Structure formats: C-alpha cells, structure tokens
Amino acid sequence: MIHMNKVAFGYKKNAQLFSNLDFDIGEPGIYGLLGKNGAGKTTMLKLAAGLLFPHGGNISLFGRQAAIRHPEALNKLSFIPEEIAVPGLSLDAYSAIVGGFYPDFSFQDLKRFAEELEIERGESMRRMSLGQKKKCLLAVALASNTEAVIMDEPTNGLDIPSKQKFRQLLAEQADAHRSFIISTHQVRDVQNIIDPVIILDNGEVVFQGDMGTISEGLAMAWYEEKHLPEQALSWQPAVGGVTALVPRDIAPDGSDDIDLELFFQAVTANAGLVRSNIEGRS
Ligand SMILES: Nc1ncnc2c1ncn2[C@@H]1O[C@H](COP(=O)(O)OP(=O)(O)OP(=O)(O)O)[C@@H](O)[C@H]1O
C-alpha cells in the first residue's frame, strides 16, 4: 500500500527532518502513527500522499511513485489533513463533487455516516464548528470506500461522544480490504482501536508492531511505589501505588491490556530496550 525506502526530507536546506526513513504499510489494519509534537508525523503522511516531495529515497503509493499523484493511486486513498479547509457548500453538494473521484463512493453510506455523526447534510460546512467540519470530512472519507484512509489528528476538536462514535465507526469499517492510518499525539483517543502501532521519534520509525506481539513481551501490573521493579519501562500513579509497564516475565498479575500512553512513553525513552523485551519473547 505505502512503502518508504531511505527517504530524505527537510523543510530547510541544512536541517533534515528525515535522512533515512523506512516505513511500510502492507497488511490491512488500523495503523496508529504516534509521535511527540514536531516528530514529523504530518510531514510523513504528506510525503506518503504525494503532497510533499522527498529529497532522496523512494515512496510508493499503491505501486506508483507517490509524488506523481497518479489518479489510479489517488482514487484508492482518502486523506483528512490536520488543518482542514472546507468550501461554502453543504455536505450533500460537496459529496456530489468529491464522490466523482472515487469509483466506490456511496451516497447511501454518506447518509448513514452523517446520521451517526449527527451532522446536517444541508447546512453550509463553512458555517460549522471545527468538530462538525471534521465529522463531515470523516463521513466523506468513509463513504468513499477507499482502500486506505489517512487521518492526521482526526480527534482534535471532537467532543467525547464524537470520539466514541469515531472509534466505533473505524472498528466497524476496518476490514480485510480497508486500512486506516491515524496520526496522533493524543494517544488515549485511539487506545483499544489501533493495531498495529508505529512510533516516530527523532526522524525515524523507532517501533512498528502489532498489539498481540507487544503483549507477548510486556504486561501491565500494579505495584506499591517502593516495590516498583527496576525493570519497569514506564509507570504512572494509580490508587495506592503505581501502574507499570514491565517485561511479561516479571509481572505477577500481568494483564494483556497494554496502556498505550505508557507504551509510548517507554518507547520514546528507550526504544531499543522495549524492542529487546518484545523480540526476546516473540
Ligand atoms: N511548512 C513548514 N515549513 C517549515 N518547517 C515546517 C513546516 N511544517 C512543519 N515544519 C517543521 O517540521 C517538523 C515536523 O513537523 P510536523 O508537522 O510534521 O510534526 P508532527 O509530528 O505532525 O507534529 P504535531 O504532533 O505537533 O502535529 C517540525 O519541527 C515543524 O516545525
């Protein structure tokens, strides 16, 4: 689907953001692209969609060079950018135009998604709130029935019920023919729906793996603070003690439900250590 090989890119001549970036999305899934502010997630997604051009290396999108923006690659891809701009059209009028670019676009699906997301199809999108605009673009992206949907910070601006609906729709729509790539620094918003996880840090993909493999090597466990084991990879306060992410071997009551925020903290602190704990078990 998307392959990046030895990609180099920087916005300024002497400041490379990526010098040797490798990244692969092949199997269907709900990919979570996580990284700190400024890690380069948006840049990476724009490169994948052919909206920015690499200075070196190769990027392929559905078998074509991404920068060419070939219609046969683009009609398999929906892209919801972080900073959205909508025209002064209703959702119905906008979809009638955009739908023409996607062979599998379904107006019936659009109506259903608009209803589920509680958005008015007849109202001018420009007069909507940020969250409502985002939900319009989400409904259009889902109704396009493309093989891949890239979403950059999709939960920014969504209220709590909308975030829940967002997670529900994605879980329902992801199947063997359809992948979602969600970039976010709001890790809790995508807890329990993303799999696999990709973590970008210091210009590199420092971790890519599925949740099953992660929980073969790591587990969550509760400790009294004074008994926190030195092998703990990350932890946070919990009632009466701390919840920690630890190697599975040492977790007394180890649960499989990995807290994504603690996992993210552990990887950004020491990706090599996390990988060796997981690879040692898988
Ligand atoms: N148009 C631009 N011109 C110059 N520098 C830019 C531009 N866009 C982004 N950058 C820089 O590139 C780096 C990566 O930015 P990017 O937006 O890709 O990060 P991000 O991981 O998506 O961050 P966030 O989580 O805050 O959205 C940052 O240091 C940013 O300042």
* ipTM of predicted assembly, 2 dp: 0.98
Task: Report the nearest-CA residue for atom 3 of ligand 1.
Answer: 11
pLDDT at 198 (0 to 100): 95
Atom of ligand 1 nearest to the CA of 12: 4
**Ligand 1 centroid – CA 251 distance (Å):** 38
pLDDT at 256 (0 to 100): 65
Q: Quote the pTM value.
A: 0.92
| Ranges of residues in the chain whose predicted pLDDT is under 50 | none
Question: 266 and 192: one domain?
Answer: no
Structural domain of 222: 211-280
Task: Report the nearest-CA residue for atom 26 of ligand 1.
Answer: 37
**Ligand 1 centroid – CA 166 distance (Å):** 25
Task: Report the nearest-CA residue for atom 2 of ligand 1.
Answer: 11
pLDDT at 14 (0 to 100): 83
Ligand 1 contacts CB of residue 39 (under 6 A): yes
Domain limit, last residue, from 183, 207, 231: 207
Question: 41 and 155: one domain?
Answer: yes
Residue indicated by tokens 């060419």:
68
pLDDT at 282 (0 to 100): 54
Express each pLDDT in 163-200 by its tens digit: 999 999 998 888 878 899 999 888 888 888 899 999 99
Question: 97 and 183: one domain?
Answer: yes
Nearest residue to 46 via CA among 82, 86, 6: 82
- Order of strands across the sheet with 234-238? 218-223, 241-247, 234-238
Q: For the chain, what is the mean pLDDT?
A: 92
Question: 200 and 215: one domain?
Answer: no
Q: Count structural domains, the chain.
A: 2
Question: 154 and 62: one domain?
Answer: yes
Ligand 1 contacts CB of residue 11 (under 6 A): yes
pLDDT at 192 (0 to 100): 85
Ligand 1 contacts CB of residue 40 (under 6 A): yes
